[in-house]
Every structure is written in structure tokens, then in C-alpha cells.
A and B are shown apart, each in its own frame.
Chain A
């Protein structure tokens, strides 16, 4: 029973953190929605869609975890938003006004759940609001005029979603032409044509739907039908579409203003001042800040990455020109220009990277909120000290950090910090402290999470590891190696119930998240005094310097920040000792890992000469044996998409100057595996 309760609580925590995230998004979107309504303009359809999806996810999550009141409210809110996005409700209708109330009440409910596990007094308010929403919805108007007046192929019309029908209707209401654009593309090459066509259609109107055309065609071609609304005359639209193969047909001509006005009454009286004033106000509100979609910055980053690759190609050309006496003068001039270009590219790279930087403050605020919640929920006297909130990180890295840090804070609450009587008995202050500190260090940011709890008892870890078969009796791991065991999945869960279980829950998750970011986690602990987790993370993931190496017939890129040095080695220099290959690096035995063997590349005879790349992650060193070094390059790491996930030893792939995909190695896991094998073999 006790474990069951624990699981419930864990599940509830998971739900709370997820729900908070959703709610935060809803608050932002709702504020924007209110703003557009206040201005008297139509909101971006995507904004309402996003709110709708958020309410839907919240409903789903609440249902899964059995929070019925909250689920019911989310459900009603979803209904209102659905009616809004489908045009069944206008922005100034009474029901629409309830969106704000519902979002605020969801916040209250969540807070109540965090405190006591049940919503309590907010229940009554919820019942009242859901009733009012239901009433307001019942009195809302019908979906709008039928679309029978459209000269549309019935098969196409039948395939439209309700949302698309609404957009269609909305565009009819605004008096735009409704057009069907049909075009056929070679099946082997349809993507490019279709992308160009849809992009062009979006530029000159609203793309309502893209469907395979019901009209037949040649076997080797796919025919598409695009339903578009545009203010342009059909002929003008066709001309601007700029596609010779596409046919444009008008299925509903634009009506004149008076026709449109008499057909459907406008949503609200047009404000006479609006046209003149709106631009002035929006200019004033800019105040020097522009919000940019992170994807746009990604795109910029990719372009800069490509530019850097181009620069490398230019370098090769300079070399060639300089090598030939007839062109050496031109080569020298080009070299000079290239240097200037290089400086500019570097400045551009830095500027784009800076644009992606955000202070850790946002992450810290989330942690503070979780800590407040836990304090109430567990009735614990624990203080969270946050330092270095101004430290900046790439936006994506910062986002990925929330989960691991949240895990660490929870662990400290759950396991590390002792109950008050125990603390007092140990001569500690009644109030426990969790201190999170961030500080920049070169191209990295170091974040430490420290508590003044009971610490980790190494003997206990050893006993449990022996019981789990991870160590054999008599093996004497160092303290660091023992703490490393805590990162293994499921290592401590079995004795979760015991009050001295120390850390463990989710530590494997912390580690895998941080590793995925190219970072390192280290644990250290003084029994009775506390535990500290130190996360070292790269400031950005976007561009890195890579060493390109060859093993077998494959190329690999290694992030240069993990490469300490490289050495050519002859086969005779590699020694075997205690079942391992070692190399003498200035008197120290460097354990070797052969990349070809590690990745089971097609067996080739071991070459007479190869290279050792010394990888260093924190204090650990391993020599990676490769066939050849192919030089340094700037690389933009891309995630690998596809069904097979999380391949150990690989962090992603990069396109090195159009030579196809090259895998980027994960130095941290290679080093770790290389060292672990020491005891195994």
C-alpha cells in the first residue's frame, strides 16, 4: 500500500509539472488573444488553435491522472475554444469572455492540487463556471452559412475538416475569391514542385487545404488540389503564382463590399479610428524588442554554418593557387580577402549565437515554483537558494535543462534532506537548504545543485550494488566509481521505501538528458553533510569545431572540445596489459578504444600506422584509435530522425561540405564505456 501511495504521489507530481507547463503557455496565448480582441481585430487562427490544443492536452492529462474537476473545466474550456476556432462563436460573445476566467481558475485548481492533493474550495467555483460555459455555449449561434454556393467538387468538399470549412466560410464572409488550384507533379519529384506551389499560394492568399486531387491523371504523376482564398482577381492570382503547370479555377467569385455586408453582418461595428491609429500604436509598442521564433534563429544558424563551410572550400582553393608559381600572386590576394571574410563570418556567428542566448532566470523561476509546491505538499522546511540567474545559455539548452534540474530538486526534497527532528539531532539548523548556482566557464556553463542533507553513504551503495550483481564482493571501486553507479537506470528504486535510500530516483534520467546536450554530470557527497551534483553544459549546441577522422571506410566528426591531443602511433607501440590495449602517454598508461571495433565496422587488418585521439571528459582520459585524421571543420550538429532512437556513442550527424551525412561522436559516452571496460575485461 505504501508503495502504491508513493506512486500516486509521483504520478501527481508528474502531472503537476506537465500541467503547469501547459498552463503557462495558455496564459501567454490568452493574453495575446485578449490583446487582439481589445484592438478590435481578428486573432491569428493559429493562436486560437494553439489554445484549443493546450486545453485538449490538459484535459487528457487530467483524465489520465484522475483529476476530475480539473479535467471537467479543461473540457469545457476546450469546447469554448473549439467553437471559437470553428467560427461558431464570435470574439465578443459572452462565452468567449469566459476563456480568461477559465484559464485563471485552472491556475487556482492546480495550485490547490499542489498543496493538498485535492482541489477543495475551488471545486464550487469550477462547478459554477462550467455551468455558465455550458449555458453560454447553448445560446451561441449556428455554424454559419452553408457552402452550397461553392462550385466545388463534392469529393473535395466532403474531405474538408470542420476547421477548414470554417476558414472557407470566414474567407467568404470577408469577401475573398475562393480558388481551386490544381497541378500535377512527377511522382519522383513532386516534393519540390508542391512546396514551391504551396509557398507561392500562401504568399498571395490563405491556403485552406491541400489534398490529393480526386481528378485522375497519369500513373507517373500525383495531382494535387489546393483550396485557396485570396483578395486577388483569379487572373492576377494565377499570374503571381508563377506556375505554368497549375490551373486556377474560381469556385466563388469575390462579392462586392455591399454584397458581403448585406450577406453577413460584420462581427462588430468597425471603429472609425482604427484604420488611422493602429499602425502608430503598434509602432510605439515595439520598444526596441522583437520576439523571434526560435526556428528562424535555427535557420539563420544553419545559414551561418553553411557559410563557414564555404569558407573552408575557399581555403582549399587558396592552397591550390599558392602551390602553383603562375598563380601565387592571385593566391596571396585571395588569401588576404579570405581572412577578412573569415573575420566577418566569425562576427556573424557570434552575433547569431548571442541572439539565441537567454538568462537562466526563467528556468530558475520554474524551479522556485516547484520548490514552493513541494514545500507545501511535503510539509518540509526547506529553502531554495538560487544564484547566477543572469548566466546565459542557448535557449534550447536552457529548455532541456528544466527536467534534469527539476529531478534534482525533487530528489533533494524526497530523499536527501532529513526530517526536522533528525536534523536537529545531528546539530544542523532546522531549515534545510538546497543551493543552485550557475556560473559561466569559457564555452561551458557549470550548474551545481547542492543540499545540506544526509549525503550518500558509500557502504550502503556498495552493499546494494553487490546485491544487484553490479560489483562482486571484494572488488574495491573508488568512491567516485561508486557514486557513478547511482546513474544506472533503476539502481535504487527497489529500496525506495527505505528512509535512507539516498539518491537514485531519476538520476539516470538526469544523466541521459545532460549527456544528450553534450554535457557531464558529476556527483560528490560527504556522508552526513550533503550532496552536490555538478552539471557542466556547453553554452550552445549549434556550431562546433570538429575533428574529422576516418575508421574503416567511414568518416566521423569528434567535437574538438573533448579532444586534448592527437598522436600518430605504430602498431608496435600499442601494448596489451591485463586484457586491455594501452599506450604510453608521457609515462601514463592511456587505455585505448578502437573505433572500428567499437562500432563493429567491417573487419580490416589492423593498419601498421594509425592515430590516437586523446579524449578528455572532466578528469577521465581515453585514447580513441582511428585510421587517419582528416582535419578540423566547423560542423552544425543535426539530430538524427527516424525510428531507431538514442544510439549510444553518437550525438547526431553533420553534413560536411556536401559530402553526405557524417556521424558526430559522443566523446562522453565513448570515454565512459572505455573506462568501464577496464574492470569487465
Chain B
């Protein structure tokens, strides 16, 4: 993949494609992408708060949101892996979204939530966030390239009700970006 393809706009297209593939699947398969309308009409995001910053996750990537519960620490894992939770018999790693984004670590507070992501490569994962703020419906025209440039973990930023929101690329956040 050339460096060009990693620029913000190409990244957005890539994201749109991936978001299309990663559907609330009913019957089809993953090799087929959604029709073109998917990108513009169905662009919705779930806002999450870290400290005072607002981030957003693609709505298609969400499996569920659960309250903070005891996290069993795991030995011999990178710092950003907080441990695992048991969720209806599944054992799922919880990732500290703060550390993934280079924010200082902090003790989770009472409003904290665990956002469980849909399976990718047959594996689920979960993110610890300070709060889930709600659904963001963002018109395409409001999107701007991320200021962080190539190293950014966002696909775009936007102003949402006078606040800047960073729309995250989960593959990059979780280090699953294809080389």
C-alpha cells in the first residue's frame, strides 16, 4: 500500500468500504460491499468520551455496551490490554482506549462503559471508555481530514454541536491495519 493511500481522503474511502463490509450481517458474505448509498445515508457514529475529548466509533462496529465490571488482569500482555471480562460465557479482552490514543492512564470512574466490538477475524474485543455520549448523525459535508495526518488513528474529524469529534479507525486503533 503506497503512502498516498494512507492520506486522509483515501483513508476515508477505505473506511467507508470497510464499514460497508462489516455489516450487521444477515445473510450475505463479507466479500461483497454495500451499495454506494451506504456511505452517505447510513453514516452514524457512536460518541464516546475520554477525559474531555470526544471520539466516535462507527456504529457498525458496535456489538454492545456494558457497564464497567471487574476486569481480570492478564499477565504478559502489552500495557493497553487491561485484562478480560466474562460476558455471557465469552472471555473478551478489554483495551484501554486512552492508552491506545496516547492519553494519560486513569482509574475508571463510575460512568465508565465497556464498548464490545463486533467480531473481526472471529475474535471480539472491547474498549474501555469514560462514557458513551450518544449517536452522532453527521452529514458527509461536515467531515474534515484528521489534523494528525498519516499517523492519525482517525479517518476524519468533524464539528458536532460546537465540539470537535475525532472519528476513529478501529483497525488502526487496535493495530490491525493491514500492511
Contact = CB atoms under 8 A, between A and B. Distances in A.
Q: Are A and B genuine complex partners? A: yes
Interface of A: 45-46, 49, 52-53, 56, 154-164, 167, 187-192, 198, 206-212, 214, 216-222, 224, 227, 302, 554, 598-601, 636, 638-644, 647-650, 652-653, 655, 660-663
A555 to B, nearest CB: 8
A642 B81 contact: yes
B52 interface: no
A155 B26 CA distance: 18
Interface string B131-158: 0111111000000000000000000000
B167 interface: no
B92 A159 contact: no
The 9 closest A-B pairs by CB, nearest first: A158-B37, A642-B93, A191-B64, A155-B41, A219-B134, A599-B75, A210-B24, A163-B28, A653-B91
Given A212-B42, A212-B59, 11 more contacts: A188-B65, A198-B26, A212-B24, A219-B135, A554-B73, A600-B75, A636-B89, A642-B126, A643-B123, A643-B125, A643-B175
A66 to B, nearest CB: 21
B130 interface: no
Contact of B42 (A155, A164, A640, A653): A155
A660 B85 contact: yes
A227 B27 CA distance: 11
Interface string B76-101: 11100101111001111111000000
Interface string B105-128: 000000001001001000111100
Nearest to A186: B65
A220 B137 CA distance: 11
A181 to B, nearest CB: 12
A641 B90 contact: yes
Most buried by A among B26, B36, B46: B26
A157 B76 CA distance: 48
Contact of A161 (B32, B59, B62, B76): B32
Contact of A640 (B25, B63, B75, B84): B84
B26 A638 contact: no
A649 B83 CA distance: 15
Looking at chain A's contact residues, the main secondary structure is mixed
A599 B74 CA distance: 8
Contact of B34 (A160, A189, A206, A652): A160
13 contacts: A154-B41, A187-B65, A187-B132, A207-B27, A209-B24, A219-B133, A554-B72, A640-B74, A642-B84, A642-B93, A647-B77, A649-B76, A655-B91
Given A53-B29, A219-B135, A647-B75, A188 B91 contact: no
B81 A162 contact: no
Contacts of B169: none
Interface of B: 23-29, 31-38, 40-42, 44, 46, 59-60, 62-65, 69-70, 72-78, 81, 83-86, 89-95, 113, 116, 119, 123-126, 132-137, 174-176
A214 B23 CA distance: 15
A218 B133 CA distance: 12
B174 to A, nearest CB: 5
A159 B135 contact: no
Contact of B134 (A187, A214, A647): A187
Contacts of A188: 65, 113, 132
Nearest to B136: A219
Given A642-B81, A643-B125, A214 B28 contact: no
A681 to B, nearest CB: 19
A649 B132 contact: no
A640 B28 contact: no
A650 B75 contact: yes
B91 A222 contact: no
B91 A639 contact: yes
Given A554-B73, A647-B76, A660-B86, A211 B91 contact: no
A643 B32 contact: no
Given A187-B46, A663-B72, A641 B26 contact: no
Contacts of A53: 29, 31
Given A191-B63, A649-B75, A661-B91, A159 B42 contact: yes
B27 A208 contact: yes
A411 B167 CA distance: 50
Given A214-B41, A661-B91, A653 B26 contact: no
B27 A209 contact: yes
Contacts of A160: 34-35
B69 A45 contact: no
Contacts of B92: 640-642
Contacts of A598: 75
Contacts of A643: 81, 93, 95, 123, 125, 174-176
Contact of B41 (A158, A206, A220): A158
A164 B37 contact: no
A219 B56 CA distance: 13
A660 B70 contact: yes
Contacts of B40: 155
B130 to A, nearest CB: 14
Contacts of B31: 53, 56
Contacts of A157: 35, 37
B24 A653 contact: no
Contacts of B70: 660
